[in-house]
Structure 1
Amino acid sequence: MTEEQHLREYTKALKARLPRHYFEPVPARMIYLPIFLTLFGLCTWGILITPYVALKLLLSVGIAYAFIGMGFLAHEILHGAVTKNPLLRSISGTLAFMPLMVGARLWRKWHNVEHHGQTQHPHDDPDAMGALESAVQRPVVKWLFKQAPALRSAFLFFSFTFWFTFHATQMLRRFLPEFKPAERRVVLFQAILPPLVWLGVLFWVGPLNFVFIYLLPLLGANFMAMSFIATNHLLNPITETNDPLMNSLTVRNPGWLEWLTLGFGLHIEHHVFPVLSPKYAARVAAEIKKLWPERYNELPHWKALFYLWKTPRLYRDHRNLIEPTTGQVFGTLGFGLDDSRMRPARAKPQMVAPKRPKPNAKS
């Protein structure tokens, strides 16, 4: 792979090849919101009336899908890919993100501005993983990375069941001081509203039904969200230039599953054009592959998850991951990540000395 290119180099070339209406909102996508809400309502009703635990569990899966579907839709809405109306965008985005307990205004700051503006930047992207020296400076992280790689991977995948919602609370603490006082009240209201709503549901349905109606679906929705979010970037190199073909990954699933997940896996396309509806992402992917076939990162979703399991989550430098217990180095996407490097190294657990990442040459 060649050196980094800036996002605007891609957008300029692609806009000349794509129809103008691709960059307009697609209001018809809003129909998913009442569909997901109806699915949630029907499954909730079924859980309340059935005495059978197995059936409650099955209906819980239906609610989990409604929750993650609403999360994917909220992502579209709050990027402006469904409507440009600010009030409608805020209300529908808040409602769609309520199961995952994320505020719409916070999301636009955390995700739209900070993550998209600084994707995979080693210091400025709030969703990026750290470099090796962070592991030896923070006691909890240092302890974690002294554990066997398989145990650490198991914990990583277990954390998918809660990480998205938990991370949102950390982003609230991080970014709340940056809002103006008037906006801060909105951010706080949107953060407090979902827990109050779900507390009301708890009192209404009782603790046992609440487990099936909310807690189990929340875990499932978090896991599904993180299975995409973690694979979208964490196998990619660190970049100081915002280059979506280097710092992002498109994960592919069978067509029916891509339809059910609203095309969220086509993530390079989303980072090139954040306001573009996933409805058009496949066409954008085809054009990118024509123009920059050697730069495009695409994997089956299952293989990306396999790579995520087998590689450590610390960067030795901008283009390599490192296993701190053994010193084994793994390449990132475009820079040597492949099946042949997935064999576990045999060595006694011992933290290796940190090496500071060397800055990339900027294009």
Structure 2
Amino acid sequence: MKELKSYGWYAARISPLLPEEAFKPVPTRLWGGLAYLLITVAGFLIIGLIEPPLWVSLIISVIVGLCFAGLGLLGHEILHGTVVRKAWLRDFLGAIAFWPLTTGPQLWRNWHNMNHHIYTQDEHRDPDAWLSKEQLAKYPLLIVLYKLPLWVRATISFVSLSFSFTLHSARMFFRSLKNFHSNKKPKVWIQFILPWATWISLLFFMGPVKWLLAFLIPLFIGNFIVMSYISTNHRLNPLVTVNDPLANSLTVTVPKWVDFLHFNFSYHTEHHLFPGISPKYYPLVKQHILNMWPERYHQMPLVNAMIALLKTPRIYYEETELVDPNHHHLYGTLGHGLDLDQYKYRVEGEAYLPTGTDIKQRDS
């Protein structure tokens, strides 16, 4: 097993190789957000006022959903301070960008910037890390879920991508509220309530059918796109005791035009090394990583990563394996024997074979 290094260890070696402008905010990124916002407003007006044929409204719903996703991905970038640095403007723009996905800027920075980034894939401290086998006993619903056949679980998991960001955001609001000082809690509550009040008010203003087309379907699409990235960022990686982005993060590859539309969000290992620089420079960071530590770096096409998620369980066993708790099948993680060709496993309790592979292989 390779020795784990902290993100600071890597960053200290790459930082001198980056241009000075890489560490400055890039406000021109807001033009993309403005385009998404204008298209969204136009879609609402067309569906709400013009009442086009259903098939046209459905096409508009898809386009608005793509805009919801793009705004959310830009909101993530804005709230890391890489677009503008003034705190009030950062939070204002971040709030607008995250409005469709109903996430407030104060909550996001506490949950994501101050906890997920600092404690990535720490079993006990990362709010986004999946459970270990020991923790599973606290979640009876998951125990029942894992008694279902793999294809049923995979289907449920795939469908849940269409709402799990918004659902997890609401869960993190109530979980994180205790982290805020009493004088800041009213602002956090307002940032949580206002987006929901907006979208519920829109339901009464537009009526249920138009609201479904203008907001709910786009919300599902936006969630699905955002969660397609988020779910592949870390869930194939092991749990770690040291925040090593080359061990606990995965960069997915997508066509260049998708990277353009999604603000280079696919470069996730790079983001965890340098959350404070604009994703505009992440391709350059990637090249330096590949030059220095190619054997540590994990990347794969987004579609392949999604397939791997559907073919493996999400419960961790002793940090470096994934376990199906009902059948006691153990799958590797990235860097620890994950078989991306046939998804073979070993049975819990069986010893490793002294071969060149990481796991005793069985047909799954």
- Please give the TM-score of this superposition, normalised by the length of structure 1: 0.93
Q: Which residue does the alignment assign to 2:276?
A: 275
- Measure how far apart 1:204 and its partner are: 2.2
Q: Alignment partner of 2:184: what SS?
A: helix
**Larger RCO, structures 1/2 (Cα 8 Å, 6+ apart):** 1
- Measure how far apart 1:253 and its partner are: 0.5
Q: Answer with 320-329 or 176-185: which moved more.
A: 320-329
- Measure how far apart 1:343 and its partner are: 5.2
Q: Which residue does the alignment assign to 2:171?
A: 170
Cα distance in 1 for residues equivalent to 2:345 and 2:278: 41
Alignment of 1:236-255 (within 5 A): 236-255=237-256
Q: Which residue does the alignment assign to 2:80?
A: 79
Q: Which residue does the alignment assign to 1:22?
A: 22
Q: Answer with 137-146 or 251-260: which moved more.
A: 137-146
Indicate whether 1:230 and 2:234 are aligned: no
Cα distance in 1 for residues equivalent to 2:160 and 2:300: 23
Cα distance in 1 for residues equivalent to 2:175 and 2:185: 13
- Measure how far apart 1:30 and its partner are: 1.4
Q: Alignment partner of 1:122: what SS?
A: coil
Contact 2:123 2:131 in 1 (8 A): yes
Aligned residues: 348
Cα distance in 2 for residues equivalent to 1:116 and 1:160: 22
- Measure how far apart 1:338 and its partner are: 2.3
Q: Which residue does the alignment assign to 2:257?
A: 256
The one-letter code sitting in structure 2 at the alignment partner of 1:316 is: Y
Cα distance in 1 for residues equivalent to 2:12 and 2:277: 15
The one-letter code sitting in structure 1 at the alignment partner of 2:238 is: P
Cα distance in 2 for residues equivalent to 1:244 and 1:231: 14
Q: Which residue does the alignment assign to 1:107?
A: 108
1:57-82 per-residue CA deviation (whole Å, 9 max, x = no partner) reads 10001100111111011001000010
Alignment of 1:58-207 (within 5 A): 58-207=59-208
Cα distance in 2 for residues equivalent to 1:54 and 1:298: 38
Q: Which residue does the alignment assign to 1:209?
A: 210
Contact 1:135 1:145 in 2 (8 A): no
Contact 2:330 2:345 in 1 (8 A): no
- Measure how far apart 1:341 and its partner are: 4.2
Cα distance in 1 for residues equivalent to 2:183 and 2:22: 35
Q: Could you tell me which runs of 5 or more consecutive residues in structure 2 were left unpaired when the two chains were aligned.
A: 350-364
Structure 1 runs (4+) deviating above 6 angstroms are none
Q: Could you tell me which runs of 5 or more consecutive residues in structure 1 were left unpaired when the two chains were aligned.
A: 354-363
Cα distance in 1 for residues equivalent to 2:270 and 2:154: 28
Q: Alignment partner of 1:181: what SS?
A: coil
Cα distance in 1 for residues equivalent to 2:138 and 2:23: 45
Q: Alignment partner of 1:222: what SS?
A: helix
The one-letter code sitting in structure 2 at the alignment partner of 1:228 is: Y
Q: CA RMSD in A?
A: 1.6
1:200-229 per-residue CA deviation (whole Å, 9 max, x = no partner) reads 222222211000100000001001111100
Contact 2:331 2:345 in 1 (8 A): no
Indicate whether 1:41 and 2:41 are aligned: yes
- Measure how far apart 1:107 and its partner are: 0.3
Q: Which residue does the alignment assign to 2:297?
A: 296
1:248-306 per-residue CA deviation (whole Å, 9 max, x = no partner) reads 00001011111111110100000000011111110110011101100000000000001
Q: Which residue does the alignment assign to 1:9?
A: 9
Q: Which residue does the alignment assign to 1:284?
A: 285
Contact 2:40 2:64 in 1 (8 A): yes
Q: Answer with 150-159 or 243-252: which moved more.
A: 150-159
How high is the sequence identity, in percent, across the aligned residues?
Answer: 39
Cα distance in 2 for residues equivalent to 1:5 and 1:63: 41
Contact 1:330 1:341 in 2 (8 A): no
The one-letter code sitting in structure 2 at the alignment partner of 1:308 is: L
Contact 1:252 1:301 in 2 (8 A): yes
Cα 1:3–1:208, aligned 2, differ >3 Å: closer, same or farther?
same
- Please give the TM-score of this superposition, normalised by the length of structure 2: 0.93
The one-letter code sitting in structure 2 at the alignment partner of 1:272 is: L
